Structure 1
Amino acid sequence: MSLLNNMLWYLDLRTVLLCVVVLLVLRWFLGRPKNLPPGPWGFPLIGSVPAIIREVRRGVEPHDLFMRYAAKFGPVFRLQILNKTVVVLNDYTSVKEAFQHPQLNDRPKLLFTKLFRSEGVGMASGEKWIELRRFCLTVLRSFGVGKTSFEEKIGTEAEELMKEMSAFNGKPFDPKPLLSNAVSNVICSVIFGKRYEYADGEFKNLLSMLGENVKLFGSGGAMLFFPALRYLPFMSTDKLESNMEAIRLFLTRIIDNHRAIFDLDNLDDFIDAYLMELKAGAKHVHLTEHSFTGTVGNLFGAGTETTGTTLQWALLYMAVYPEIQQRVQAEIDAVVGRNRLPRMADKPELNFTRAVIWEVQRMTIIAPLGVAHAAASDTQFHGFVIPKGALLVPNLWAVAHDPKVWSDPNKFQPERFLNDKGEAVQAEELIPFSVGRRSCIGEHLAKMELFIFFSFFLHQFTFKKPDDSPPLTLKGRGGFTNSPRVFNICAAKRD
């Protein structure tokens, strides 16, 4: 009798499970809105996850796979990732229109918020995001960020970095840690009120963890936007979580130190400005303790990783294309001379130099899939329905390599940004900082940093491949950002 009862119980359990699966599958097929964008077929419940994982394991980057889908389904297509509808935007027009739409500017729930225990300006939505972003921009401007007056602070850091490069006496070195430290020091001076020496072991370790996290978030930052992926058996997140906790504790300690010596009459940096708002009370409803660490973390991470990585690519391209490097140096010498360093005032005359920077940005697109938006409500877009909660992913790589916009898009050709008079003209389709209401909050700072650091470097050094090293590769390394593979370079001092 006991055996019979066990068999009946087992059969009942199987029946219940079968019914649950059937109901979920029916909900999958019947519960979706009509008139969604077209897209590839996906499995019930897990959608396109197996197909994407298969291609990534073959070495195909998500942005390249999405370009392949776009060729078949059009520039606006849909994927199903687990229980989420994902709309991928693959040309300039669709990205620009979507990201200027007021109902398509929310953020999805991101893993960063959960691990950091704080929702910063980059992760917030709605009124909270509007208030936090406005506050951040106001404070950054008050400390000179983006203004010509900030040039001296960047230039001073660039000179410190060049001293470090000179110390190698033309011998090979890995530029990544030095560039990361230098660029990070610029944003640290604004948000922390201090810079860190290049030999500071704790800070070097922090920057290393930040760079490691970019890889651990997975190709295209998949785990960042789909936190549930971290529960898959082949996804290892222990290191990611420990790194995030270490970074959070570092920032929390800095905030607490500021809190302990806070002086209302002596506001030195962004943290002081935020503390003042907290003490002011209800003036800003959404400037809370819960948003504090996350917002500082957003500014720190964004101000460190992307610009530092772009400068790595710039040095690598100069070593691979020495004739382009020589043209940049010749232009800088003709405009600036050899007796002083370049200045922002020289920028209008350094046409080829600017064209090279833009072409490096176009070729490498540091965040190939940008940062996803989410639909705040069901929204009509390009004749389709974007359902509430759907993710919108901008394929910025596709925008920057669209053959309809860029002739021979895979060729490094700075001249594409020069007009018939040799003047630098930036194409509106070049959007490495994204576009619309949620474009990169540090765009103006990053542009100034790129120009000052790059022009200083080329004025003072010639960058070469080490004699005994294998050929340098321009193939990137997958992750949330597109970074170069580890390489060494030689910086030969110019006369």
Structure 2
Amino acid sequence: MNKTLIESVTNLILSSDEIFQSYVTKCNFRAPNIFFLLLTFCVSLVYLWRKQRTNYPPGPISFPFIGNLDFFKSKSHIRVANLRELYGDIFSIKAGKWNIVVVCSQEGILEGLTDPDNNFDGRPNFTVFHNLFMGNRQRGISTADFDLKTQIKRDFVINSLNSHWNPHPDRGHLSYSVEKIVVKETLSLMCFFLNEEGAFDPAECFKFAHLHIMMTLLFEDTYDADDPITHEIYDSLEDRKEAMKIQLYNYFPFLKPFFKQQIRQVEERASLLTKFQRILLNQHKDSYNPNDLRDFVDQLLIFIEAGEDRELLDSDDMDCILLELAGGGFSSVPALLTWLMGYMAAFPDVQTQMQKEMDQVVGRKRFPTLVDQPFLPYTMAIILEVQRIVTLFPFLHPHRAVKNCLFQGYNIPKNTIMMFSVWSLHHDKKLWKNPSKFNPLRFLDSSGGLHIPEFFIPFGLGDRRCPGESLVDVEVFIFFTHIMHQLYVRPEGTTHNLESTYQQAVQPKPFKVKIISREEY
């Protein structure tokens, strides 16, 4: 019964604009119909009058209680961004109970993300954010408002990642490196690819490979793909990823009772992950040696022991840091690697040119390493161009105005959701020539060197920039270069369509490729 009701409400929301557009021509103007039209007209006038009076950004008329339907339709990042042509670089929409301001211009996005007063560094008070972190979104990093505690957690993540390349002289040496772990997982995955007969979808393979890497980084341990624990963790992260999509109950609170089962499942998965982490955390405490750090857990223990948390973090905060790290990159890394495979299959000439560059720089007697990265500009340009044209997180994470403020000449009320449309920035015809065309050469200068413009910001900017950016870069580079160095990716058929779906991240629709050894090609 509940599922039927939810589907009915959802269908009503998504189809009501077509109903309204044909309403005038189909109705016979009976009294109730006229009353409804007059009521809608009056509400819209009041809404527009309030916007003009308060110097609020302009925007389309929204349906009462529902808001702008484009926000809830498929590929809403494109639909919403297209409103820029009608209302300018900064405009407003409404989604359920939330007022949203969309920023599309380079100037506006850079100003908003790097605002020295941190006016927009809050996060919306979404129900799902609380569900992900033991009932309190402030315990997370990506879901919390930006304060001293969030800054401390963020700094810990960044410094922990950096320590794998620059070990602390007073803490001995780390017994592993990120590159070594990623290479090991990559070689295992390549063997799996070669054993696959016929065409297959690589997406799930990348997800499990990334999960193994994160488990090793966190707990110096990994689990076989057939291990039940691996599948439990995988399912938990999948549920968390799904929960981050546009959920109707975040925008229409009255629908929350009908999502009880879904909400309970996310909470139970979070609890399961927390219990598993606590077992490993307690094991680490028994064997912990501050002079021989093994993984992120050891780094977290010495971070607390040294008082670098300023005594602000408790055990729940530690649990939630590990929760966030466990799911770090679970949406972005596998998706980006899958997109790269898809584009190489669709553009064989680009793939061939990249392999020629690697053969010249790396040769055929060894694998690529991070040391080779500066000498592979065309390879790097391909990675950057896929990131640009796809733009995995078109609006980054939603920001929230923490106080009333003036922005780009407009008054922004407190608690307004700010959506910085990086997708608009990455597809702006004023900044990119033929932005809808896949062209890695746009990231190369006249001499063939790598050139990254300042308006390319797939990870955001400022204090809320993705703290795991360096890990994503390393993983993607190692996976991509190793696979392309040894293997050749072909489409399943004569054509290869690259289509996407969007909720919170731009994911590729399932596709299949054939992967063979370059020696066999």
For normalisation by structure 1, the TM-score amounts to: 0.84
Structure 1 window deviating more from structure 2 (27-36 vs 377-386): it is 27-36
Which residues of structure 1 form unaligned runs of 5+?
1-21
| Residues 203 and 283 of structure 1, relative CA distance in 2, 3 Å threshold | closer
Alignment match, 1:116: 133
Backbone CA RMSD of aligned residues: 3.1
Pair 1:133 & 2:154 matched: yes
Instruction: Give me the whole-angstrom Cα distance separating, in 1, the residues matched to 2:192 and 2:387.
Output: 25
Q: Distance in 1 between matches of 2:143 and 2:395?
A: 16
What amino acid maps onto 2:213 in structure 1? V
Is 1:295 aligned to 2:321, yes or no? yes
Residues 214/422 of structure 1: CA separation in 2 closer, same or farther (3 Å cut): same
Asked if structure 2 preserves the Cα contact closer than 8 Å seen for 1:230 and 1:237, the reply is no
* Range 432-441 or range 151-160, more displaced: 151-160
Would the aligned equivalents of 1:140 and 1:190 in 2 still touch at CA under 8 Å? Answer: no
Q: Which residue of 2 aligns with 1:48?
A: 67
- Whether the 8 Å contact between 1:370 and 1:434 is mirrored in structure 2 is yes
Q: Which residue of 1 aligns with 2:26?
A: none
Give the Å deviation of 1:260. 4.6
State the secondary structure of the residue aligned to 2:497: coil
Equivalences for residues 207-246 of structure 1 within 5 A: 207-208=234-235, 210-211=237-238, 213-215=240-242, 217=244, 221-223=245-247, 227-229=250-252, 231-232=254-255, 238-239=261-262, 241-246=264-269
Distance, in Å, in 2 between the alignment partners of 1:283 and 1:462 is 48
Aligned match of 1:252:
275
Q: CA 1:233–1:128 in 2, change beyond 3 Å: closer, same or farther?
A: closer
1:125-274 equivalent positions in 2, closer than 5 A? 125=145, 126-144=147-165, 150-168=178-196, 171-204=198-231, 206-208=233-235, 210-211=237-238, 213-215=240-242, 217=244, 221-223=245-247, 227-229=250-252, 231-232=254-255, 238-239=261-262, 241-263=264-286, 264-265=288-289, 267-274=293-300
Aligned to 1:103: 119
Q: Which range moves more in the overlay, 368-377 or 456-465? A: 368-377
Q: Give the secondary structure class of the aligned counterpart of 1:104.
A: coil
1:73 matches 2:87: yes
1:308 to partner: Cα distance: 1.2
C-alpha deviations, 1:385-437, integer Å up to 9, x for none? 12111111121211111111111111111111111111121122121111221
Contact 1:116 1:245 in 2 (8 A): no
Contact 1:177 1:204 in 2 (8 A): no
Separation in structure 1 between the aligned mates of residue 452 and residue 501 of structure 2, nearest angstrom = 27
- 2:25 aligns with none
Tell me how far 1:115 sits from its aligned partner. Answer: 4.1
CA apart distance, 1:205: 5.1
Contact 1:76 1:89 survives alignment (8 Å): yes
For 1:431 and 1:363, how far apart are their aligned partners in 2? 12
Counterpart of 2:389?
Answer: 363
| 2:420 equivalent among 394, 402, 413 | 394
In structure 2, the residue matched to 1:311 is 337
Q: Is the 8 A contact 2:201 2:513 kept in 1?
A: yes
Q: 1:477: which partner in 2? A: 501
- Distance in 2 of aligned mates of 1:347 and 1:405: 26
**1:367–1:282 CA distance, 2 compared to 1 (3 A):** closer
Does structure 2 conserve the Cα–Cα contact (< 8 Å) formed by 1:132 and 1:286? no
> Which secondary structure does the structure 1 equivalent of 2:189 belong to?
helix
Opposite residue 40 of structure 1, the aligned amino acid is P
Does the 8 Å CA contact 1:379/1:387 hold for their aligned counterparts? yes
Q: Show the counterpart of 2:443.
A: 417
* AA in 2 matched with 1:478: Y
Please tell me whether the aligned partners of residues 71 and 80 of structure 2 are also in contact (alpha carbons under 8 angstroms): no
**Cα distance in 2, alignment partners of residues 192 and 49 from structure 1:** 45
- The corresponding residue for 1:10 is none
Partner deviation per Cα, 1:161-188 (whole Å, 9 max, x = no partner): 21222222x5322211211122232232
Amino acid at match of 2:195: A
Structure 2 counterpart of 1:62? 76
C-alpha displacement of 1:368: 1.7
Which whole-Å CA distance do the structure 2 matches of 1:248 and 1:174 have between them? 31
Contact 1:251 1:293 in 2 (8 A): yes
* Displacement of 1:51: 5.3
Letter aligned with residue 329 of structure 1: Q
- Corresponding residue pairs, total: 460
Find the aligned partners of 1:356 and 1:27 in 2 and give their Cα distance: 46
Deviations 1:437-476 (A, max 9, x none): 1111111111111111111010010011235xx8432110
1:491 aligns with 2:515: yes
1:430–1:103 CA distance, 2 compared to 1 (3 A): same
Distance in 1, Cα, partners of 2:48 & 2:441: 50
TM-fit CA distance, 1:311? 0.2
